[in-house]
Amino acid sequence: MATTGYENLISGSSSSTTTTASTTTSTSSSSLSNDDFLTLLVTELQYQDPTDPMDTETILTQTSQLASIEAAENTADSLDALSSQLQSSTTFNAVSSIGKMASLGSNYIPYEGSGDISFEVYFPNEISDGTLTIADSSGNVVRTIDLGDEVKGESGIVTFTWDGLDDEGNQVDEGDYSVGATYVDPDGASDTTVLGVYPIESVYYDDGVIKLKLGSNYYEIDEVVEIYERTGA
C-alpha cells in the first residue's frame, strides 16, 4: 500500500519510524518550516513501499504545499525588512525636523474656572511693544496684556501666567480660551504669533514612541498637525 501522506508522520498514526519523526518535529517546533517540510517529504519517499510507490499527484500536491510555505516565509521576511526600513525612515524624518516649526493645531488653553494657569507663546523676534489677548470661545477678548510692560526685550519661548480674571477684574467662567499676540520688534517691524506654534528643539524616544520637544514640553509626533520651515529670525 502506498504511503497516505506525510501528515501521518506528524500525527504518529503511521509506522514506528514515522512516529519517531513526528515526535522529533513536534518537540522542536509547533509549526513546520520549509526545511522541516522538505525533510518529511524526503523521509516519506525513502520509506514508501517500492511495490506501490506514491502517485505523482500526491507528490505534486505536497511539493506545492512546500512552495506555499516557502513563499509565506519569504513574504514574512520581506514584511519585517519593510517594517525596519519604515521605522528607520520615520526616525530620520523626526530627527531632520529639529529646528523646524511645529503646530499643534490649536491656540486654546483649557481654563478650569479658578486659580492661575500658565502657558507658553513663541516670539520669533525680540519684543519691543505689543499686545497679547485672551479670548473666549466666541472670540470675545476677556483679557489684554501689554507686552511692552510685561516682557519687553524678550524673544523665543515666553511664559505667561493668567489669574483667570478679565480686564475688569471679574473671574471668567470655565472653558477654552484662545491666545494670540501682535507685536513690533526694535526695528519697528510688525509680527503676530499664537499659542501652539513652537520650534522643534529636540526629539525624544519613549518606548518606541517619538516625542518632539516644543517649548518646555514633549508632545507625541501624532499630536503635531504640521511641520514647516522656520521663516522668522
Which of 6-20, 60-74, 101-115, 176-190 is least confident?
6-20
Domains observed in the chain: 7-95 (no CATH), 101-228 (2.60.40.4070)
Question: Burial code of 172-201, b = ≥16 C-beta within 10 A, e = fewer?
Answer: beeeebbbbbebbbeeeeebebebbbbbbe
Any idea what DSSP says for residue 225?
A: -
pLDDT at 205: 83
Task: Please check the confidence at residue 143 and state whether its pLDDT lies above 50.
Answer: yes
Task: Quick: pLDDT tens for 51-78.
Answer: 566 566 666 676 676 667 667 767 776 6
Task: Quick: pLDDT tens for 82-101.
Answer: 555 555 555 556 778 889 99
Task: Please check the confidence at residue 127 and state whether its pLDDT lies above 60.
Answer: yes
Task: Please check the confidence at residue 29 and state whether its pLDDT lies above 50.
Answer: no
Task: Please check the confidence at residue 10 and state whether its pLDDT lies above 60.
Answer: no
Q: Is the full-model pTM beyond 0.75?
A: no
Query: Which of 60-69, 136-145, 208-217 is modeled with the greatest confidence?
Result: 136-145
Task: Tell me what the mean pLDDT of segment 44-49 comes to.
Answer: 66
pLDDT at 95: 76
pLDDT at 76: 73
Contact 215, 118 (CB under 8 A): no
- Cα–Cα dist 222/210, whole Å: 9
Task: Tell me what the mean pLDDT of segment 10-20 comes to.
Answer: 40
Average pLDDT, the chain: 79
Task: Tell me what the mean pLDDT of segment 191-212 comes to.
Answer: 91
Which of 37-41, 175-179, 206-210 is least confident?
37-41
Long-range contacts of 33-37 (CB under 8 A, 24+ apart): 33/69, 33/73, 34/66, 34/69, 34/70, 34/73, 37/65, 37/66, 37/69
Dihedral sign from CA coordinates of 73, 75, 81, 86: negative
pLDDT at 206: 81
At 139, the pLDDT band (50, 70, 90 cuts) reads: very high
- The fraction of the chain above a pLDDT of 70, given in percent, is 64
Contact 69, 37 (CB under 8 A): yes
Which of 69-78, 108-117, 207-216 is least confident?
69-78
The 10 Å Cβ neighbour count of residue 8 is 17
Of the candidates 42, 41, 39, 44, the residue with the CA atom closest to the CA atom of residue 18: 44
